[in-house]
Every structure is written in C-alpha cells, then in structure tokens.
Chains A and B, each alone.
Chain A
Amino acid sequence: DQQVKQNSPSLSVQEGRISILNCDYTNSMFDYFLWYKKYPAEGPTFLISISSIKDKNEDGRFTVFLNKSAKHLSLHIVPSQPGDSAVYFCAASAYRSGAGSYQLTFGKGTKLSVIP
C-alpha cells in the first residue's frame, strides 16, 4: 500500500513558467515532509521541507504548500529554469520509537523537464 503518492510520472514546463509538482499521502502520523531532487547517476539532494504544523515554506524560487486536511502537498518552482530538469521525490517522515530515529517514505518521483 503506497503511503506517499506522486501521481504524475512526468511534467513538461516552458522555461520561465511555474512548475507545480504534487504529492498525496495517507498516513496521518507523518509529521514532516521533504522534497528531494535527483539528477541521473547522482544521489538525491535535499531541496526543501515543511513541518506538519505549517502550511507553507519558501526558499528562493521554491515553495512547498501543505494541506493537512486533504493530505496533500505541492512544490512550486517559479520561474522554472532548464537546470531544474530532474526527478523530484516527495518524502514523508515518521518517528520510529523503537529505533529512536525518523524513517522517510518516498513517492515514486516526478520527472520534470523544463523546455528552453
């Protein structure tokens, strides 16, 4: 059962326009959400995150919105640039008390292509 879903495998956007990547989750115990960016043949790199007690977090061109009632979050990239072309993974965090650590559950990813 997929707890974190990214329903769009791919997205194409013109350079300069807004990119909106969506993510849905089912587990209400998730308390922190993250977006990672991954280029081919490289490991994922952390992009931006949001706590479950907030509804918006902004960092430069990147903004993440969280709608807890809908169990939905989105990543907005404005303006989109060709260098943003990558696979974006949504991840949700839950605390595992037995291990004393957080575990991330990832979505399947959305491949963003920004067209010059």
Chain B
Amino acid sequence: DVKVTQSSRYLVKRTGEKVFLECVQDMDHENMFWYRQDPGLGLRLIYFSYDVKMKEKGDIPEGYSVSREKKERFSLILESASTNQTSMYLCASSNAGLAGGAYEQYFGPGTRLTVT
C-alpha cells in the first residue's frame, strides 16, 4: 500500500513565523503535490514537483515555497505565516509520465494549520 505521511496532524503558529510542513512517501513516486483545502473552496494546488529539485507553481503559490532535496520528501514552507494561511494542508504523490496509474494521486492525512 502507498503510504504518504505528514509530519504533523495539528500545528499552531504565530503570524510572521516561518513554518515548515514535511511530507514523505514510500512508493518511489516521481510526482509530489501540496494542496490546501478550505470550506467551500475544495482542494487547490499550491505547488508540485515532478523530480528532485524540480518544482512547478500550482494555482495559488503566493506566500509559499517548496523544497525537494530527496525523491521521497517534499516540504512546504510558509516564509512568513499569515492568518489567511490557516487551512488544512494535504500532500499527495503519484507516478510520472504516461504509465498506468499516473493519474491517481495518493494523499497523506493532512496537517491542520492555525495561524494566530
């Protein structure tokens, strides 16, 4: 079974703090993704990575950066946390290219981040 783990289930940070959210997958997937989920807005893609050290902006990258130094690990960084970044953050991974199963993404349990 694919397993995607996230470093924290719940996190409380203060405005202006630098926040690191970590994600690890154990299926040797090339692609990794960060989403945020907000009520009434669904899942919105922040950033994704298709290879080590490679990244692409998603739909809402402002205020975020990412790091992928190893294939299994993808980090989301909030450089200076703000209250409007209070949200559920979800990490996902998938196979690459046109191989079967490339469409399906496997999600971690999520990190509920509160910025006060």
- Residues of A bordering B, CB below 8 Å: 6, 9, 32, 34, 36, 41-46, 49, 89, 93, 95-96, 98-109
CB proximity of B40 to chain A, nearest CB, Å: 6
Q: Are A101 and B42 in contact (CB under 8 A)?
A: no
Closest B residue, CB atoms, query A104: B105
Q: Are B56 and A99 in contact (CB under 8 A)?
A: yes
| 10 A-B pairs with the lowest CB-CB distances in the bound complex, closest first | A43-B107, A108-B42, A106-B43, A99-B50, A32-B103, A101-B50, A93-B103, A101-B31, A106-B42, A44-B107
The total of Cβ contacts below 8 Å across the A-B interface reads: 69
23 contacts between A and B (CB under 8 A): A6-B42, A9-B40, A32-B103, A34-B104, A41-B110, A43-B4, A43-B108, A46-B104, A49-B104, A93-B103, A98-B56, A99-B56, A100-B50, A100-B96, A101-B31, A102-B31, A102-B103, A103-B58, A104-B45, A106-B43, A108-B41, A108-B42, A109-B42
CB proximity of A25 to chain B, nearest CB, Å: 13
Q: Are A46 and B106 in contact (CB under 8 A)?
A: yes
- Taking A43-B92, A95-B98 as known contacts, 4 extra A-B pairs with beta carbons closer than 8 A to each other, sorted by chain A number, are A43-B90, A99-B50, A101-B102, A102-B31
Q: Are A89 and B48 in contact (CB under 8 A)?
A: no
Query: When A42-B110, A44-B43 are in contact, do A101 and B96 touch as well, CB less than 8 Å?
Result: yes
Verify if B109 is at the interface (C-beta below 8 Å from A).
yes
B81-97 CB mask vs A (1 if < 8 Å, else 0) is 00000000010101011
